[in-house]
Amino acid sequence: MNLIIPKNYDPVLSLRQTQEAIKYIRDTFQKEFGKALHLERISAPLFVPKSSGLNDNLNGVETPVSFNIVELENDPIEVVHSLAKWKRMALKKYEFNLHEGLYTNMNAIRKDETVDNLHSYYVDQWDWEKVISKDERNEETLKTHVKEIFKVIKHMEHEVWYKYPQAVNHLPDDIHFITSQELEDLYPNLSAKERENEITKKYGCVFIMKIGHTLKSGQKHDGRAPDYDDWNLNGDILFWYEPLQCALEISSMGIRVDEKSLVEQHELENFQDRLSLPYHQAIINKELPYTIGGGIGQSRLCMLLLKRAHIGEVQASIWPQEMIDECKKHKIYLL
């Protein structure tokens, strides 16, 4: 069982107060976030046809939950892992203009996940996507959007403090930028997760850039599907999380692939067969807008702001009975 029990843990809020706080954080954050990045809320699917190529392949080894329906009996339907690619299609379909964007509530099932304090079979996040120009596909654009997201999260700390002063977690005042290769050079003898912990503990909040390519060591910092993020223009936002003594990833985001980087990344992964799928062809033929986008974990944000020890305290999911029982002994009440 993968479980960390913080010493002398106190959730502060009751179960009903926690539910109230969860709603407050989610309602308030999405309004502030949408306003800051000029995003419009739209509806999104829970599942897509496998043949569309729209599902997120994550690290390439996870198997989506799938089923068949009568009308498409020869085309399996997959529960989404995320909406990384679907959002870009939606921007075209709904005729979003330059610097306009969308966000949506994304719910997913990741059945291959190993559950622990931070990971669940159930994923809930705000998926967002925004139209940019070809010449805006650069590091400056990426960093500008990262800073805006950090500013909204930091503002949420003050909002939560005003309403729940006894429960709020205090966050750092700034975010530090570093590439995955710079991080490996800094801590060459540590694993990727250990490096994340060291740098995040040092700065409080970091954005680790350029994730997906093989590093000088011959290893990748982390896996990334080759068909949505440009691996030279992406990254993760991590906060140092004192209760669990580890880095807590709140967002994965990036500037999306163009017609060139899509092909290059598929060749590196030997996935050229995917390039014939409708979504991939639309990028190659320049039929989709150039975009930046990502996901922000809803439950993880609630966990971060309320200083909770387990993601199950802020979302309803399924946990091993042994974990439920052990958590209860230490005032960690899983929903």
Active site residues: 56, 110, 125, 236, 249, 252
Q: Which tokens belong to 263?
A: 């092909």
Q: Give the three-class secondary structure for 104.
A: strand
Compute the radius of gyration of the chain from its Cα atoms.
20
Any residues with CB less than 8 A from the CB of 186 and at least 6 apart, and which? 178, 195, 199
- Specify whether the CB–CB gap between 38 and 100 falls below 8 A: yes
The tokens describing 193, both together, are 């997760």
Neighbouring-strand partners of residue 235: 209, 253
Name the DSSP letter for residue 214: B
Non-local (6+) Cβ contacts of 218 within 8 A are none
The backbone torsions φ and ψ at residue 226, rounded to the nearest 5 degrees and listed phi first, read: -85, 0
Strand-pairing partners, residue 123, are 108
Gap between the Cα atoms of 155 and 149, Å rounded: 10
